[in-house]
Chain A
Amino acid sequence: MIQSKLEKVFADTFATYSDAIFRFCLIKVSSVEQAEDMTQEVFMRYWQYLRDGKEMTNTRSFLYTIANNLAKDWYKKKKSVSLDGVLDESGPTGLLADKKVVLSPEISASYQEALAMIDDMDENDKQVLLLTHVEGLTPADIASAIGETANTVSVRLNRALTRLQQRLHTYEKRQ
């Protein structure tokens, strides 16, 4: 039966890529909760594609593409919402500053530390750094996922790495 075969494929893909997609979503949105919701949404769409028998040459790139498109939609929505909420917003913003996020006890101290570090970086920098150095994608893969040319991705990656290292030095000094 096609259904059971596809369910198997889906379960394998979820086991392999759910964390990576979650990390990618986490740099796109500013809360763990939203990143989880977005991850779930990515896999729902992935299932629709599987079910409809559409061709996918590279599952991983495809998942990132979905996530990237969802993030774009999310930004559009956020923009319209924040116009109303802008007067109420005060104080620090970002992952840890989001008071609505209740971090589960499972989330370790190092997790929080890492979150704190990536939090104040430029989003485009985070994106290329994550995909290259954490997930191990090639610039070409990233380019297809986020809709840029491989060349742009390479340039952005170099600059991002430089900025990261500078930041890490100052961070270390502060410690």
Chain B
Amino acid sequence: MKKDNNTKEYFKKWQEIKLSDSSRARMKEELDAYISFHAVQGGVRVTDDGRSISQVPRRTLLFPLRLIYMPFIIMIAVVVGGGTSFAAQGAVPGDFLYPVKTEVNESVRSAFAFGADAEARLQAKLIEERVEEAKELKAEGELKGEAAITLANKTKRNAEHAEVALQESVKAETEATANKIIIALTEYNAVVENQTSLVVGISAFEQILVNGGFATELATGTSTISELQSRTSARLSGLQSVIAEHQADISAAVQAELTANLERAEELATDAAVAIEADARRLYDDAATALGEVEAKLSTIGTVEIDTDNGAIIDIDFNNVPAESNDDATTTDEDMDEDGVEVDVEADADASAGDSSLNVDGSVSGELNI
């Protein structure tokens, strides 16, 4: 069938049927509004029910497989690793199994030490183990190089964990554990022959004893009167110079409190210098408590730098406020109520200093309120 002229004419006319300009313009306008309203969502193509096409996971086999085998992997680890970790218990730094001992075994022991007291006791025990390791290495003539550094790092880490745990532990437990740690660390430092890079600081634990009001034990113990005197004067002068240096950064209310404690400590130290030994120990002890308050306060409003020899604060950085000072921001106690006019930062510091679990006992906070 061929198209004749009429038919061609007909189709031509048909082709002339078009949208009128006005209709087309209106339609375009409405469609533009439609497509911007029903726009592509967030650059991700989505289906009508909101599912993203491209987010369908393609390979899901591997992960379930791993989960299925996990019990077997754990069983193997227990059967094989049980013997290994037992064998590792006698390892010293430099041994193949030493990492198993320190990382695996001690993590497990730490996981079973419930509460801060148990954790602190465990860390004390671990520091004693470090001392044994140090002695063993020294006996073999291997306390040098990599092994010595590894040992020092482990000891430092145990000491840090112990310190954290002691801050949280209850008072009755703190004293014995802190003393144990001090003795162990002193022994360790003696074994490593006071090599600066290997020595682990003890002052933090002495500080804990001082803050907790346990300094009597320390004072009547190993230190001589002259040691107590020099330590007290070093801490006192250190604090005085630090506070004088950073006068601008410390608010008047806090400064008044700090100065009151410092003056009290100075008086006590002066009295102690001329007193008989028994009284002197008690006076230095009281002075240490007062100084401890000042140091605790300073450490809540800035990052303090401590002289490792005598535990004195030698500098303070106000740009780097310890995070924990804000943790107690919401808690209030009697100190805060008395200093109600203080601005936020000092209020935090007060709450923090007063709230410290070591200070809940009346004797210390009584001194704070002078």
Among A2, A19, A23, A161, the residue within 8 A (CB) of B7 is A161
- Cβ–Cβ contact B31 & A133, under 8 A: no
Among B14, B17, B31, the residue within 8 A (CB) of A47 is B31
B3 within 8 Å of A (CB atoms): yes
- In the complex, identify which listed stretch (A48-56, A60-68, A78-86, A143-151) lies at the interface while the others stay far away: A48-56
| Bound CA span A108–B16, Å | 10
Size category, B interface: 20 to 34
Report if A23-B40 is in contact (Cβ < 8 Å); known contacts: A106-B22, A165-B6, A172-B6. Answer: no
Question: Within residues 143 to 163 of chain A, which ones have a CB less than 8 A from any CB in chain B?
Answer: 158, 161-162
B34: which A residues are within 8 A, CB to CB? Answer: 44, 47
A137 within 8 Å of B (CB atoms): no
- Cβ–Cβ contact B43 & A110, under 8 A: no
Most-contacted residue by chain A among B10, B17, B24, B39 (CB, 10 A): B17
A1 within 8 Å of B (CB atoms): yes
Report if A117-B19 is in contact (Cβ < 8 Å); known contacts: A6-B40, A14-B31, A47-B31. Answer: no
Minimal Cβ-Cβ distance residue in A for B53: A53
Report if A23-B27 is in contact (Cβ < 8 Å); known contacts: A165-B6, A168-B7. Answer: no
Shortest beta-carbon distance from A168 to chain B in Å: 4
- Cβ–Cβ contact A36 & B3, under 8 A: no
- Cβ–Cβ contact B27 & A36, under 8 A: yes
Contact with A along B4-41 (1 / 0, CB 8 A): 10110011011111111111100110110011001110
Shortest beta-carbon distance from B323 to chain A in Å: 42
B149 within 8 Å of A (CB atoms): no
| Bound CA span A7–B36, Å | 9
| Bound CA span A124–B17, Å | 19
| Bound CA span A175–B242, Å | 116
Report if A52-B1 is in contact (Cβ < 8 Å); known contacts: A18-B19, A106-B22, A117-B10. Answer: no
Among A1, A18, A134, the residue within 8 A (CB) of B27 is A18
Among A7, A23, A108, the residue within 8 A (CB) of B14 is A23
| Bound CA span A78–B4, Å | 37
Minimal Cβ-Cβ distance residue in B for A129: B11
- Cβ–Cβ contact A51 & B19, under 8 A: no
Contact with B along A22-59 (1 / 0, CB 8 A): 11001000000000100110011001100111000000
B1: which A residues are within 8 A, CB to CB? Answer: 158, 161-162, 165
Minimal Cβ-Cβ distance residue in B for A53: B45
| Bound CA span A93–B159, Å | 99
A39: which B residues are within 8 A, CB to CB? Answer: 19, 27
- Cβ–Cβ contact B45 & A36, under 8 A: no
- Cβ–Cβ contact A51 & B38, under 8 A: yes
- Cβ–Cβ contact B48 & A52, under 8 A: yes
A164 within 8 Å of B (CB atoms): yes
B47 within 8 Å of A (CB atoms): yes
Interface residues of chain A, those whose CB is within 8 Å of chain B, are 1-3, 6-7, 10, 14, 18-19, 22-23, 26, 36, 39-40, 43-44, 47-48, 51-53, 104, 106-108, 110-111, 113-115, 117-118, 129-130, 133-134, 158, 161-162, 164-165, 168-169, 172
10 more contacts with CB within 8 A, not counting A2-B40, A53-B45, are A19-B17, A39-B19, A104-B20, A111-B16, A114-B17, A133-B11, A134-B11, A134-B14, A168-B10, A169-B6
Interface residues of chain B, those whose CB is within 8 Å of chain A, are 1, 3-4, 6-7, 10-11, 13-24, 27-28, 30-31, 34-35, 38-40, 43, 45-48, 53
